[in-house]
Structure 1
Amino acid sequence: MSVSTSVIADLCIYLLTWNVGTHSPKDLSLTSMLELNGTTNCPQNKIPDIYVIGMQEVSTKQVLNIFQDDPWVLKLAAALSRHEYVKVESKQLQGILITMFAQPKHIPHMKDIETDETRTGWGGVWGNKGAVSIRLSLYGTGAVFVCSHLAAHDAKLKERIEDYHQIVDNHKYHVKGYPRIFDHDFVFWFGDLNFRLSGDMSAWDVRNAVENGRYDELLKLDQLSLLRESGNAFSLLQEELPTFAPTFKFIEGSNEYDLKRRPAWCDRILHRVQANSYPSITLSAEQLSYQSKMDYTLSDHKPVAATFSYKIESHNLSYTDEELHEMTHGVGTTMSNVSVFGLILVIVVHSVLQF
């Protein structure tokens, strides 16, 4: 018996994380960083359907101004609105920021949008470390995007592990079927996770290994990889190992390492898919790219980006994403006014383009 397959959604999602070291965007061009220069890692070289951008150490000078987005969000919106992207949502906790943009055609397929935050700095009192997240029903499936900034410094591995578990335990949502991060069908977790290299290699030895392309040797010492293997943290997520140089710590304005710290892959993007949770439905998130943006020298970190193919397929049965939403979120789930909100945003974006 032949199996007929129909595609409910086939999206290209672009994720980016960058610790901007309290710098403002000023006159910085984001064209290359957002792959808006004519070359992308999406199929057929198309521009992404959705952008989700996480930042750390954003300047908190404007946090108290609740009526205006952070300058980084405004800068991102200015770059993306030229391609008619709409801001879906953003969330900021002191210096930790996450924001989502989408092509307008996807807005009616985004529902039940929620954000949350967890403070882990100073034992959960201060928000200089922690996480912010955006969750939503995306074409009927539950998706969550988590941006975190974990405890810094080589010796703080235990604190990073505690931060992770505190975020997992404390992040909660009000949507039926998806109260916690790992209840979601798709989980994307990224940020300045601050994991360093185990062992006692000197900063000079690490730099020498990097300059000679000995990434495999260094990745065997990578704390995040070792933790995932041991099951102590991030073990529910998977990561395509970096094939780029460690993204921390650079002398600002250059591509030279500042050897006051050992170079490390602090900036990471991980994901998880519950592929076969529903009858006759297959979910997949194929990672199409994972790279650092070396031409950005604003801070002591490099931006890191990943592209994913987010696909929902049904087998022998034909579903609309509304029907899939009822299956995944439960019949009678309260729908948000996202479609109306999205249309308002489209109008706002076009008005922004006028000045």
Structure 2
Amino acid sequence: MWPRLVANKILRKRLGSNNFVADFPRNREIPSLDRPSLSPDSIFCHHKDTHNYRVFVSTWNVGGVAPPEDLDMEELLDTGNTSCEIYVLGFQEIVPLSTSNVLGSENNKVSTEWNSLIRRALNNKNTGQDFRCIISKQMVGILISVWVRSYLCPYIRYPSVSCIGCGIMGCLGNKGSVSVRFQLHETSFCFVCSHLASGGRQGDEKLRNSNVSEIFSRTSFPRGPSLDLPRKILDHDRVIFLGDLNYRISLPEPTVRLLVDARDWNSLLENDQLRMELRNGQFKEWHEGVIAFAPTYKYRPNSDVYYGCFHQSKKGEKKRAPAWCDRIIWYGTGLKQHAYIRGEENFSDHRPVKAVFTAEVGVIHPLKQFQSLFLSERFDRITRQTDDFVCKGRSSFQM
């Protein structure tokens, strides 16, 4: 373990492969319905250049527990009340931490179980929906899975992933991020699923800030065939950062518990470490919705009782103050948040958090599509074939 770990550290090796799971080949040709039509109506008609799509995002640290058989994923996804075109689900600790998996080996069995549950919930026969997975990627305990309505699949291009390990010695995969990107029509999306350094002691927030800095600096994506695609996280048009960010509340533990009991969220949030970073720190210029729900960490599994409560604590047991560890934030313009809530599934020591956004997406004007046809390699091939046919045959038209 240690020789490999040291080598990875020296070489600044990016953890995990660039491969990912999807419902269709990543390099397939875009179907004909994405190509410009040559009919007069499509050439000269005028359409709006911006479409709005609803995006569901969730994050959940599942505490190393495999999904229970009775887990209601439809409740987590809120499919009965919310209808979105894109679903992005991030998980942390989907496998228990062990020496054998922190170096980056992927146990696909658990991620397959989660994806099967997601597929079943999104494609419930009662809702008549049809969703496809465009990217699913696991690095040790971090999993991100992206699903879109099937009619959008032809307009999804350049999906790719980038994995960054920030654990022991700055490279183990028990902490870090899995970032995914794709282009929908003419707009690029980047979703970063993270699990940052833990710890509630004074100064531990600096470790989390260091993780974030590493993720921003080391994450990179391919430039694409035309070398014009964004490579870094913040270069994308729509960026959402989600995960167990592990930021705590900078108040004494007894004070935190009293304020939680009083449901005084404002006093707690004034001392929330992530809010401080949003104001003037590592996440300056990022945005977060209004938090109107109880802290999501740390619960006793299968209960609604916070870990380490005075009447529940055992002798010698380490106390952990409640905190909003699980967060969803976004960067830039073109995203509008409509909901920011937590779920109540309780088999983990964390509660899931979910958000719903409207995302603006640029769409090429049909006339521009028609013009792009004449600038494409496909049109060059057509004209070359036509020229060969004319040269080889006899023309019946004479001047």
TM-score by length of 2: 0.71
108 and 321 in structure 1: CA distance in 2 versus 1, 3 angstrom threshold: farther
Question: Is residue 212 of structure 2 the alignment partner of residue 164 of structure 1?
Answer: yes
Whole-Å Cα distance in 1 between the matches of residues 273 and 265 of structure 2?
14
- Aligned residue pairs, count: 301
CA contact (8 A) 1:8 1:320 kept: no
CA contact (8 A) 1:91 1:97 kept: yes
Question: Is residue 108 of structure 2 the alignment partner of residue 72 of structure 1?
Answer: no
SS at match of 2:64: coil
CA contact (8 A) 1:139 1:321 kept: no
Question: Is residue 340 of structure 2 the alignment partner of residue 290 of structure 1?
Answer: yes
C-alpha displacement at 1:142, in angstroms?
1.1
Aligned 1:103-118 pairs, distance under 5 A: 103-118=149-164
1:261 counterpart residue number: 320
C-alpha displacement at 1:228, in angstroms?
1.9
Structure 1 residue corresponding to 2:55, chosen from 13, 35, 42: 13
229 and 321 in structure 1: CA distance in 2 versus 1, 3 angstrom threshold: farther
227 and 64 in structure 1: CA distance in 2 versus 1, 3 angstrom threshold: closer
Deviations 1:44-102 (A, max 9, x none): xxx11010000000116996456884321222122223332111111111001100011
SS at match of 2:331: strand
Question: Is residue 242 of structure 2 the alignment partner of residue 190 of structure 1?
Answer: yes
Aligned 1:215-254 pairs, distance under 5 A: 215-231=265-281, 233-254=282-303
Deviations 1:304-346 (A, max 9, x none): 00000012368xxx725986xx8xxxx989xxxxxxxxxxxxx
CA contact (8 A) 2:106 2:140 kept: no
Higher fraction of helix: 2
1:341 counterpart residue number: none
C-alpha displacement at 1:198, in angstroms?
1.1
- Which one-letter code corresponds to 2:179 in the other structure? S
C-alpha displacement at 1:206, in angstroms?
1.8
- Which one-letter code corresponds to 1:13 in the other structure? V
1:270 counterpart residue number: 329
Question: Is residue 369 of structure 2 the alignment partner of residue 310 of structure 1?
Answer: no
271 and 169 in structure 1: CA distance in 2 versus 1, 3 angstrom threshold: same
SS at match of 2:91: strand
SS at match of 2:147: strand
CA contact (8 A) 1:7 1:311 kept: no
Aligned 1:17-166 pairs, distance under 5 A: 17-27=59-69, 28-36=71-79, 38-40=80-82, 47-59=83-95, 64=106, 69-82=111-124, 83-155=129-201, 156-166=204-214
Whole-Å Cα distance in 2 between the matches of residues 98 and 192 of structure 1?
13
1:336 counterpart residue number: none
Give the structure, 1 or 2, with the largest relative contact order (CA under 8 Å, sep 6 or more): 1
CA contact (8 A) 1:6 1:313 kept: no
Q: Could you say what the CA RMSD is over the residues aligned between the two structures, in angstroms?
A: 2.5
C-alpha displacement at 1:213, in angstroms?
2.1
Structure 1 residue corresponding to 2:256, chosen from 178, 185, 206: 206
Structure 1: which 5+ runs fail to align?
41-46, 276-283, 334-355
- Which one-letter code corresponds to 1:72 in the other structure? W
Whole-Å Cα distance in 2 between the matches of residues 12 and 302 of structure 1?
23
C-alpha displacement at 1:17, in angstroms?
0.1
Deviations 1:212-247 (A, max 9, x none): 22100000000001112222x111421113111110
SS at match of 2:277: helix
Structure 2: which 5+ runs fail to align?
1-45, 309-318, 378-399
Whole-Å Cα distance in 2 between the matches of residues 22 and 12 of structure 1?
30
Higher fraction of strand: 1
2:311 counterpart residue number: none
